[in-house]
Structure 1
Amino acid sequence: MRQPQFRPVPSQLSPVSAVVLSLFASTSAWGAVAEMDVPIHVAEVEFNDQFLQQSGDGAHIDISRFSKGNVALPGDYRADLYVNGSWLGRAEVHLRQPNAGGGVQVCFDRALLERVGVDLTKLPAEAAARLEKGTDACITLPSLINDATATFDNGEQRLDVSVPQIALARTARGYVEPRYWDEGVTAARLQYNANAYHSDSYGVSSTQGYVGVNAGINIGPWRFRHNGSLTSGTQTATHYQSVQTNLQRSIAPLKSQLTIGDAFTDGAVFDSVGFRGVQLASDDRMYPESQRGYAPIVRGIANSHARVQVRQNGNLLYETTVAPGAFEIDDLYPTGYGGNLDVVVTEADGSVRTSTVPFAAAVNALRPGVTRFSTTLGEYRNPTVQSHPVLFQGTVQHGFTNLITGYGGFVASPGYMAAQVGAALNTKYGAFGLDITQANTHLDHEPDRSGQSLRLSYSKLVEPTNTNLSVAAYRYSSRGYLGLADAMALRDFDKHNIGYPTNGIQRGRLQVTVNQSLPAGYGSFYVSGSTQNYWDRSGTDTQLQAGYNNSYKRLNYSLAISRQLDTGTNRWDNRVMLTLGIPLGTGPHAPYSSTSVQGGGNAPAAVTTAVAGTLGADSAFSYGLNAGYSSSGGGASSNTTAGANASYMSPVTTITGSVSKSSNYTQGSVGVSGGVVAYSGGVAFTPAMGDTLAIVEAKDAAGARIANGSGLRVDPWGHAVVSSLSPFASNQVEIDPKGLPINVELKSTQQSVAPTAGAVVRLKFDTENAGRAAILGIRTANGQPVPFGAEVSNAQGQSIGTVAQAGRIIARGLKTDTGTLLVNWGKDTGEHCSVDYALPKVDKKMSASYSVVDVVCR
């Protein structure tokens, strides 16, 4: 027979009572059920009740009910699961009492063991047979795994499990098994962004409107999406543009996404282009975060149970304990452009060994053993080209070792064909990437073109100076080489005999980015630049940017310099901008002021000052004020501007507005954005919408804050939309009960979910109307307060609290406005009495307030 369900129940002791009682306890077994090799009895707690004597009459208080603490009863619980200190979400926990008079035990079945992460193949044959038999007997964890323990805390509704690492299945950090991925519910969704803009400039008035939509329907694993925009204006006709429409779903065994319709190829091997057709491509999000990007595998040998630390530039990235023998660490998080890894092995006898693993993330580098692929078949899609030929593209990348990643691809279309092969190298001298592409283009009215493109990239963190050479890339293309986009444009021009593009065929391109951190207190600076020349036109496109950032106390300042060659006039345009910023106050809503001064080049010198801040408990209201002055010299062309903007994030939408005025124009705009989700449980609104969502359902919890978003609260209909979920990973969604009506209780405040990409998952937080709450001042017939520590129960015998100082109690769970309570502080005659209470009438809007009532105990 199934045991009754239990829910978390707060301790019935008042805070002061619990503290006082715990001070006088000689042993501690407060609310915990410990599981060992044999069932144990809960240790009794002894209190010295002499410390709890009432002044005046010396009444004796019976506190024997606290002798075994908050002991859990047999039943089924839903509790937080912690394994070796890490939270894994909530799980069903079964407590049974195998022996009469003994303590309850946590019972484990195959499902709970798999949830804990136990490798079932490592269980002894006898233990595995017991699981397979599936008897009604309670199977404890220590009987299955040596040195394993399970402790259930009834007060916290928490199960702590300790399992030796050798008995756990080896998985990367953050890994969630595909069978736990949630495809979500059937739902329709709409994300919108609307804006109206009006301006008067030099006597000409104009108004424009824009509405952008991202609409979709989820059915099982399928995701239908449509992006489009509607524009209208006083000088333009109303026009709707369909940007992209497709159907997608996840293919878990291949760690990939299937796309049917409009989409873009990735730019890992070839340049990204648009297509309309079918694509099957790897989805890196299906790997845990600790295995995305590039990081080397760290291998070594331990002579004992040793501690292994992985450090980079003095920062501790990873630490674990390994058994004697060979070990392997393959779940390091990627750390940008790197720095060599120092591996420190500390043996049990205290001896230390250190080794170095080179680490610099090259372009297209993958972890050893990881493969990425992409296959696309469809028609070429580009709104600037009239022709839409059939396109096929296939790419593959594979990490062979820590040193080498190989990649390549093939693309074909009528009149065009290209193939690429390349490698990424991770060495102690830095990360190198080298690839070569061969392309052939057929033209109807011009000679065919054939050529090669060679690309070399390099990145390195120079540790002695902490200089990060983030990107240094050079690409050389022969005269006959054309990329896919250039070839399609040229073939389109050639086919329709409308001339040839004048952008120029790229010959060489060099790009460099350097970031330098200076000693503490001296800030940092960056330098980046690029230069590019062409085969069929003169001139070189060159640009250079440099900047310096630092702070002094609360003042932040930066200096930015740019130098760009104007190929039209063959003249350099040089500009300099200095920016100063400081908070105007110290509170959480203190506004921030920034002032910038810029000049140089052909643009007029300008000074701009802006102040921005937020208001409200959730910073839902934000505002900004700005003013500026510009002049080209002598005041002949001076211009003064002033403006303001504001936005408000309500529970259902975001509203924005702005106004500005200058010597030459007047401008005003208003906008609204947000999202709507419709599903079988109703309709939910949100002020901001992402791709992967969770709908929180919490009846009667209107106004409760959702910890996953700034200003996000449960709406009056009991819904909230959490739009910041990471697909294929464990996400914790939490409700903060602060602000809930006193008579509403949440049975749980946190849930874990691992949605697939684009899913709309449904999370139901059960609530219960626990009745009214009141502060009762209870006195005896002679006017004395009832004894401290006396237990108060309702007419059904259910405890509702314990009397604290001055005979007062916070009584919760009063189902009716009038009734009778029983007060008991001993077993003898005269050590109990009854109370008739009558609470004042209140409406639901006042339910968050305590009623304070003085009563007499008969």
Structure 2
Amino acid sequence: MRKLSVKPARFKYHSFLFLFLYHINLACADNDSMPGNIAGHQVAFDSSFLNLTADTSVDLSRFSYSAGALPGTYKVNVYVNNQFLGSENIEFKSGLNQEVYPCLSFNLIKSIPFDHNQLPSDFFESEQKGSCFFIQKKLTDTQVKYDSNDQVLHIDVPQLYMSHIPQGMISPSLWDNGIPALLLGYNINGYHSESHGHNFDSLFGNLTAGLNIGGWYFRHNGSYTKTNSNSGRYDSINTYLQRDLAEIKTRLLLGQSNTTGELFDTLPYNGIQFATNDEMLPDSLQGYAPEIRGIANSNARVVVRQGNQVLYETTVSPGEFLINDLYPTGYGGNLEVTIYEADGSEQRFVVPYAVLTQLLRPGSSRYTLTVGELWEDTLSDKPAFSQLTYQRGLTNALTGYVGGQFNPHYYAVQIGTALGTPAGAFSVDITQSRTDLGDLGYNGVDNLLSGKILRGQSYQIRYSKVFSETKSNISLAGYRFSTDSYMSFTTAMQAREILKNGFSSDYLSRAKNRVTLTYGQGLPEGWGQLYMSGTIQNYWHKDGTDEQYQVGYNNTYNRWTWGISASRTLSSESKQQTNYLLSVSMPLGRDYQIHMPQLTSALVHDSNGRTSEQVTISGIVGDESQYSYAGTFANANQGAGFTGTLSGNYRSAISSFSASLSENKDYSSASAGMSGTVIAHSGGVTLTSYTSNTFALVEAKGAEGAKVSSYPGVKIDFNGYALVPYLNPYKMNEVSIDPKEISDNIELMSSTQKVAPYSGAVVKMNYGTKKGIPILINGTYNGHTLPFGANVLDSQDDVVGVVGQGGQVYARVKNEKGNLMVSWGNTLSSKCTIRYQLMPRMSGQSGIQTFNSICE
């Protein structure tokens, strides 16, 4: 079977020749004779335009019916009505008059999403397995066109015969569950500080281990923390086995994970869960983790916890910081953020983690079913529970939802509705709970609720609206009231634990009222943006309230960006702090510079009387943006003095490295870290500096050093592999190889492929390579240059090129010497043979060898 292999970035002789002749033909043709579709229309070419000698002619009839393809098998991307169908190996055959046409298989035709009620009754009749399916003869006005430059086959079918496909829909039959692989993602950070003669050392490591076999994905997430005051502790965040059920858009989870938190608060559990997965839907029909903002006064550690589990830890420079890469852990449950300053002081605040209103499209639904044990560190027992939620889009504006949580000593039932109106989107729900406290504890405790059954309600209303006329945005406003007898499942289990230990459950505070608001206001052009947010919550059996407020203003002038903000935190223990921030940033350099440093300055003042000024210069350098740096210089009152901090990051092909140093008259600190992923597969072990959930394993043997995709540092390694991170699951991802760094002795069979992976998969993408030495021959025949457009074949009768202008032959040969046949007709007199012998070369030497030869 013939295959035509052409290295990307080198011209394709057959395509070039076709386009050259085609434009010559158009130059001589009347406008009315211009073909609307090259494939399927005969085009006549006049060989006199090639300036051939009188005794030489070239048969150009093979270019009269096709878009430049020669007979052979090509891997092409197939599009139907501009929608991607898949990558297929298509055989191109030569028919009457030497026209070349794609042979469409029966299986390929069956994969097209036809409306079978509109197809002719004999559409699939009289077709034999293995034969070519001529769809143009079955459906009138259907066109099949091949673009050899982009290796794309277009099939255009009248819309009458097609079923409706949502935009961006990728058929589940095209989803790839990947190859067997072992994965290990790591993020390691070490920290050291010295203050007033005291040393502090810590080591933090976050690990994500996985095993993929078929469509089953095993994952384990854990963190290790060690300081000089303890011997080290490893916490298991979750361990689970996952499988996606594509037919019903559902994910199955077995093991430790979290409930989705769509109707009830997120619960960590150990058990089994079935839940619909919106990721499997196209973008036109469809998680969330909040951004965390704060202000550090020094080179500090920032730790994010949910409950007693550490979700995230990093080192930040002095000034304002932003954490926006938290892995989602559900839709509910507050995040506790702790800033450990280098001088030993701490800052703490809570980031609400809530969900917006749950409107669904009409006819669509979501459900979750969870059965397991509550995995809560504060409980000595692991109480069993089951949870069921269901949401249904009833109309275009109305969604209903119900849910329930069940335990032998507890149940809660929720019913609610979400409504979309011109005035905004609302959701209203009510939850009824029943808690059986049983015969626990003893009667010697005042206000003991032992033996009582508590029934209570929780009412909630939420609202969101974008007012485009006034550029206003209320992204979330909510109010929740819970009666004294209402308990969530976690609170109920904690109450039983308290009673069992002989205390009164009245000592357990429970939420009473909670109000949240996030509001943004755009001002007239050039005047910037206002924003504000706030949260207020009080409790049963606990005095005081927890309050958080923030208000700010941002604007841009020329290349300057500046903002001012104020935030206040008031805890139920009457601890209050107010922070004020003024920040200005600007680029240092010209607009045409590729890597432009950024200058950021900030003035910070808090209610404790502390004021600090900070200036930071940061930037990215390197041909592949592999280096980043930052220098921060700060000065503060109250004896803090001057602080200098330097930090840098280097992203190599195998890992990402970071380091920082900070110095003050009272303390000094340093940190170092590294992160990346290691994947073991059948071809060996491949490393990358990126941490991701879904990877493409690119195989291109011999293409060492070639850049892959658009991520810095992703290159083909010595073993012929590269890892491309951050693939969008269930969506088509295009992965390309740049051949510029490849040795001249290696030729890529293709440079671009597409794949739609399952979430968590490691999909293998094989880019075939051909090894050989490129040669460029200036050939003559009977004293004349070789005929332009003649085929060039090797000893295996494979087409390896076409004679170009000036009789030049470009070919790739495997042997040190051999023969190439040049053919420009069907007779013996229209064929000749070029003998070649390569020149000796030094080890590792590459490049095109050029020489003259006579074709005999």
Q: TM-score, normalised by structure 2?
A: 0.81
CA deviation digits over 1:118-149, x for unaligned, max 9? Answer: 33443211123234xx2665431122222211
Query: What residue number does 2:814 align with?
Result: 815
Residue 599 of structure 2 corresponds to which residue in structure 1?
593
Counterpart check, 1:126 vs 2:122: yes
What do residues 675-699 of structure 1 show as CA deviations (whole Å, max 9, x unaligned)? 1111222222121132222211111
SS of 1:471's partner is strand
Alignment of 1:271-350 (within 5 A): 271-292=265-286
2:779 touches 2:786 (CA, 8 Å); kept in 1? no
Aligned mates of 2:831, 2:105 — CA distance in 1: 48
Aligned residue number for residue 483 of structure 1: 488
Shift of 1:8: 5.7
Q: Are the aligned partners of 1:14 and 1:810 in contact in 2 as well (CA < 8 Å)? A: no
Q: 1:529 and 1:825, CA in 2 relative to 1: closer, same or farther beyond 3 A?
A: same
Match of 2:566 in 1: 561
459, 473, 481: which one aligns with 1:468? 473
- Measured at CA, do residues 14 and 548 of structure 1 come closer, stay the same or move farther in structure 2, by a change above 3 Å? farther
Number of the residue aligned with 1:645: 647
Residue equivalent to 1:622: 628
Please give the per-residue CA displacement for 1:249-271, whole angstroms capped at 9, x wherever unaligned.
12233321221211111111001
Structure 1 residues 119, 703: CA separation in 2 closer, same or farther (over 3 Å shift)? farther
What is the SS of the residue equivalent to 1:741?
Answer: coil
Moved more, 437-446 or 423-432: 437-446
Deviations 1:617-665 (A, max 9, x none): 2212222221111114xxxx13211111222222221122111111221
| CA deviation map 1:734-758 (0-9, x unaligned) | 2222322222121122222222222
Which of 749, 766, 770 is equivalent to 1:764?
766
User: Which residue number in structure 2 is paired with residue 552 of structure 1?
Assistant: 557
3-state SS, counterpart of residue 405 of structure 1: strand
Distance (whole Å) between structure 1 residues aligned to residue 174 and residue 97 of structure 2:
39
Identify which of 140, 144, 163 aligns with 1:146. Answer: 140
Unpaired runs of 5+ residues, structure 2, are 289-354, 442-447
**In 2: Cα distance, 1:603 partner to 1:30 partner:** 81
Q: Distance in 2 between matches of 1:293 and 1:543?
A: 25
- Answering whether residue 670 of structure 2 is matched by residue 668 of structure 1, we say yes
The DSSP-based 3-state class of the residue aligned with 2:255 is strand
Once residues 225 and 181 of structure 1 are traced to their aligned partners in structure 2, the CA distance between those partners, rounded to angstroms, is: 20
Match of 2:85 in 1: 88
Distance 2:830 2:368 in 1: 83
Residue aligning to 1:687: 689
User: Which residue does 1:182 correspond to in 2?
Assistant: 176
2:841 maps to 841
Secondary structure of 1:695's match? strand
Contact 1:533-1:541 within 8 A present in 2 as well: yes
Q: In the TM superposition, what whole-angstrom CA distance separates every residue of 1:469-527 from its partner, at most 9, and x where no partner exists?
A: 11111111112212222222222222223566867322211111111222332222211
Residues 24 and 71 (structure 1), Cα distance of their counterparts in 2 relative to 1, 3 Å cut: closer
Give the distance between the partners of 1:204 and 1:810, measured in 2 at CA: 76
Task: State the one-letter code of the partner of 1:495.
Answer: K
Query: After superposition, where does 1:199-598 map in structure 2 within 5 Å?
Result: 199-292=193-286, 363-443=357-437, 444-445=440-441, 446-447=448-449, 448=452, 449-497=454-502, 504-569=509-574, 571=576, 573-586=578-591, 587-598=593-604
Q: Quickly say closer, same or farther: Cα 1:631–1:30, change in 2 above 3 A.
A: farther
State the distance in 2 between where 1:509 and 1:437 align: 15
Residue matched to 2:45? 45
- Which residue matches 1:352? none
Distance change (3 Å), C-alpha of 1:75 and 1:15: closer
Within 1, Cα distance between the matches of 2:829 and 2:111?
53
Q: Following the alignment from structure 2 to structure 1, what is the Cα–Cα distance between the partners of residues 177 and 204?
A: 33
Structure 1 residues 475-484 or 488-497, which shifts more? 488-497
CA distance in 2, matches of 1:726, 1:644: 35
For 1:276, give the aligned amino acid. N
Q: Report the 3-state secondary structure (helix = DSSP H, G, I; strand = E; otherwise coil) of the residue aligned with 2:123.
A: helix
Corresponding letter in the other structure for 1:78 = K
Structure 1 contact 293–366 (Cα < 8 Å) conserved: no
- In the alignment, residue 711 of structure 1 is paired with which amino acid? G
CA distance in 1: counterparts of 2:220 and 2:247, whole angstroms: 27
Alpha-carbon separation, structure 2, partners of 1:831 and 1:527: 81
Deviates more, 1:710-719 or 1:78-87: 78-87
- The change in CA–CA distance for 1:261 and 1:45 in structure 2 (over 3 A counts) is same
The CA deviation string for residues 517-551 of structure 1, in whole angstroms up to 9 with x for no partner, is 22332222211112222232332322221222221
Q: Could you say what secondary structure the match of 1:122 adopts? A: coil
In structure 1, distance between residues paired with 2:600 and 2:98: 69
Aligned residue type for 1:813:
R
State the shift of 1:402 in Å: 0.8
TM-score, with length taken from structure 1:
0.81
Does the C-alpha gap of structure 1 residues 223 and 193 become closer, same or farther in structure 2, counting only changes over 3 Å? same
* Partners of 1:792 and 1:803 within 8 A in 2: no
How many angstroms does 1:33 deviate by? 8.9
CA contact (8 A) 1:819 1:838 kept: no
Secondary structure in 1 aligned to 2:841? coil
Instruction: Return the letter of the residue paired with 2:90.
Output: V
CA distance in 1, matches of 2:829, 2:396: 81
| Partners of 2:104 and 2:116 in 1: CA distance | 13
Equivalence map 1:726-765=2 (5 Å): 726-765=728-767
1:172 counterpart = 2:166: yes
* Alignment deviations for residues 225-282 of structure 1 (CA, whole Å, 9 cap, x no partner): 2122233332211322222212221223332122121111111100101111111111
- In structure 1, what is the equivalent of residue 110 of structure 2? 114
Contact 1:773 1:851 in 2 (8 A): yes
- Structure 1 residues 502 and 31: alpha-carbon distance in aligned structure 2, compared to 1, 3 A threshold: farther
**Quick check: 1:16–1:804 contact (8 Å CA) kept in 2?**
no
C-alpha offsets along residues 54-91 of structure 1, whole Å, 9 cap, x if unaligned? xxxxx669563556437544554321212223443422
Q: Which moved more, 1:434-443 or 1:88-97?
A: 88-97
Q: Distance in 2 between matches of 1:715 and 1:815?
A: 24
Q: What is the distance in 2 between the residues matched to 1:368 and 1:147?
A: 36
| Aligned mates of 1:77, 1:853 — CA distance in 2 | 31
Give the equivalent residue in structure 2 for 1:334: none
Q: Distance in 2 between matches of 1:80 and 1:702?
A: 25
**CA 1:553–1:693 in structure 2 vs 1: closer, same or farther (change >3 Å)?**
same
1:340 counterpart residue number: none
Deviations 1:359-404 (A, max 9, x none): xx96111111111111111111111222221111111111111121
User: Which structure 1 residue ranges, 5 or more long, are not aligned?
Assistant: 54-58, 295-360
For 2:763 and 2:402, locate their aligned partners in 1 and report how far apart those are by CA, in whole Å.
Answer: 38
In the alignment, the residues of structure 2 paired with residue 233 and residue 377 of structure 1 have an alpha-carbon distance, to the nearest angstrom, of: 37
Q: Which residue of 2 aligns with 1:610?
A: 616
Give the direction of change, closer, same or farther, for the CA distance of 1:247–1:591 in structure 2 (3 Å limit).
same
Identity %: 30
Aligned-partner SS, 1:710: coil
CA contact (8 A) 1:439 1:450 kept: yes
Taking the aligned partners of 2:811 and 2:101, their CA distance within structure 1 comes to 30
Q: Contact conserved, 2:786 with 2:803, CA < 8 A, in 1?
A: no
SS in 2 for 1:113: helix
- 1:700, 1:831 → 2: CA distance? 35
- Contact map agreement 1:200 1:665 (CA 8 A) in 2: yes
